[in-house]
Amino acid sequence: MASHFPSEPEDAGLVAKGRSGDNAEPLTVSEISQALKRTVEDRFGFVRLRGELSGVKRAASGHMYCALKDEKAVLDGVMWRGNTQRLPFQPEDGLEVVASGKLTTYPGRSKYQIVIERMELAGEGALLALLEKTRARLAAEGLFASERKRALPFLPRTIGVVTSPTSAVIRDILHRLADRFPSRVIVWPVLVQGQGAAEQVAGAVRGFSAMPEHHPDRPDLVIVARGGGSIEDLWSFNEEVVVRAIADSAIPTISAVGHETDTTLADYAADRRAPTPTAAAEMAVPVRGELAAVLADYEARKKRAILRPVQLGRERLQARAERLPAREALLQPHAQALDELAERLRRGLRDRAAQGRERLSNLRLGPAVLERNLREAHRALAGQKLSPALVERPLAERRERLAALQRVMRSLDPDTVLARGYIRVTGPDGTTLTDRAAAAAQPSLTLKFRDGDLQVAPGETPPPSPPPQPSRAAPRRRVRDSGTAPAQDDLFG
């Protein structure tokens, strides 16, 4: 800088003043700043410079601020919004980039900087470094975690394929699907390379995912596919927007990007990674023929198996049936008891009836009852009747007693002994004389013999015989016996 102006040997004065031979007035700061700005911008109107990004900052306005640096120097940079939108990658600190743009100054701050119009990664190494950084960052977020992986549907009803409609990829997929299990496929055509490809792929993945649950076109499996290519060709599938779309998708996703050796971040985010699009089709569907065989096998086994419990049941039934006691044996005791009870019932009924009949007949009003009653009454009456015996007996008794008395009397009859030679002497009055004195006093005596009386007189001459007089005690006998005694009436005739 100093070379542009002649050096001033003199010491500096206290107050600036004009010099001889130099009529140049001092420049203002603005003047020099403007001059500098012009010079820099003219001289460095287009530069490409390589450096490492640092201090990358996106403002809310969409502009990006950063610095480019190497070992010894640092240069601020700015990228306006319009250009940042065309960035093919996400700028990050530490990335080695080649930035194209123009240098400019910022007089207000005494600064200079590069206004970046384009920025590219500085070679494949830088690309891989970026890939690794992005991978590490998203992995740290857990986007690739194995817990996030979902099982693919066993037999998807509809398969969504996100790929280029014109590539061989879609034909490979459709061919293999047709071979294995013809399926419904909905292709979402996208660019798979270049500007906007990542956004289209991400948009398609999100678009399928956003379909309503029961939308007829909603796939239950999505394949994101692209054929092989360079790392740059495949770059869209390393873009965060694609990775996030796949990780966020509600539909299980297979990624099949590039060849077997190519691994993109989309592969990490997908639920399954297929080495090729054809392999993706194989993962997507089972082989129909095999399923049919499995089904036929189940069918056959089922038919075999269903007969087994029947057979088994029959055998078990048979075994138990054999152990069942004979029906007769089972029933016999009961039958017997029943018979017995029936017999008792009959008998009981009969007995009861007989009893009843008997009681009825007993109770029945019949001539027998009356007759019996009559008989009884007769008997009672007969019992009660005045019997002649009642009279006869006392009469007989009395007669007996009388007879007894008569016998006694007869035995006591003084005349009884007459038959044996005794005689009884009575006076004229009939009194029996028992002593001599009495007899001597009597005018006449009557000697009573067995067979009659003899009148005698006491003394030497027998007195005249007086008329015989009947004794009081036995007038009848004497009278009857004598036949001379006055007759007396029999009391009882």
Give me the residues that bind another protein (CB under 8 A), please. Answer: 153-155, 165, 170-171, 174-175, 177-178, 181-189, 203-204, 207, 211, 217, 288, 291-292, 294-295, 298-299, 301-302, 304-306, 308-310, 312-313
Amino acid letter for position 427:
G
Report residue 404 CA to chain centroid gap: 120
In the complex with another protein, the residue whose CB is nearer, 58 or 288, is 288
CB of residue 117 to another protein, shortest distance in Å: 28
CB of residue 123 to another protein, shortest distance in Å: 35
Locate 468 and state its tokens. Answer: 């015989």
CB of residue 241 to another protein, shortest distance in Å: 14
- How far apart CA 21 and CA 326 sit, in angstroms, is 152
CB of residue 208 to another protein, shortest distance in Å: 8
CB of residue 177 to another protein, shortest distance in Å: 7
- How far apart CA 432 and CA 472 sit, in angstroms, is 11
CB of residue 333 to another protein, shortest distance in Å: 34
CB of residue 182 to another protein, shortest distance in Å: 4
Amino acid letter for position 83:
N
In the complex with another protein, the residue whose CB is nearer, 117 or 199, is 199
In the complex with another protein, the residue whose CB is nearer, 226 or 477, is 226
CB of residue 158 to another protein, shortest distance in Å: 9
In the complex with another protein, the residue whose CB is nearer, 208 or 235, is 208
CB of residue 161 to another protein, shortest distance in Å: 9
In the complex with another protein, the residue whose CB is nearer, 69 or 175, is 175
Amino acid letter for position 115:
V
CB 173 within 8 A of CB 219: no
In the complex with another protein, the residue whose CB is nearer, 58 or 175, is 175
CB of residue 257 to another protein, shortest distance in Å: 20
In the complex with another protein, the residue whose CB is nearer, 297 or 451, is 297
- How far apart CA 330 and CA 83 sit, in angstroms, is 105
In the complex with another protein, the residue whose CB is nearer, 312 or 369, is 312
Listed residue (208, 210, 209, 213) closest to 188, CA to CA: 208
Three-state DSSP string of the chain: CHHHCCCCCCCCCCCCCCECCECCCCCCHHHHHHHHHHHHHHHCCCEEEEEEEEEEEECCCCCEEEEEECCCCEEEEEECHHHHCCCCCCCCCCCEEEEEEEEEEEHHHCEEEEEEEEEEECCHHHHHHHHHHHHHHHHHHCCCCHHHCCCCCCCCCEEEEEECCCCHHHHHHHHHHHHHCCCEEEEEECCCCCCCHHHHHHHHHHHHHHCCCCCCCCCCEEEEEECCCCCCCCHHHHCHHHHHHHHHCCCCEEEEECCCCCCCHHHHHCCEECCCHHHHHHHHCCCHHHHHHHHHHHHHHHHHHHHHHHHHHHHHHHHHHHHCCCHHHHHHHHHHHHHHHHHHHHHHHHHHHHHHHHHHHHHCCCHHHHHHHHHHHHHHHHHHCCCHHHHHHHHHHHHHHHHHHHHHHHHHCCCHHHHHCCCEEECCCCCEECCHHHHHCCCCEEEECCCCEEEECCCCCCCCCCCCCCCCCCHHHHHHHHCCCCCCCCCCC
In the complex with another protein, the residue whose CB is nearer, 114 or 170, is 170
In the complex with another protein, the residue whose CB is nearer, 227 or 468, is 227
In the complex with another protein, the residue whose CB is nearer, 310 or 491, is 310
Locate 227 and state its tokens. Answer: 């054929």
CB of residue 156 to another protein, shortest distance in Å: 9
Locate 254 and state its tokens. Answer: 């297979």
CB of residue 205 to another protein, shortest distance in Å: 12
In the complex with another protein, the residue whose CB is nearer, 109 or 302, is 302
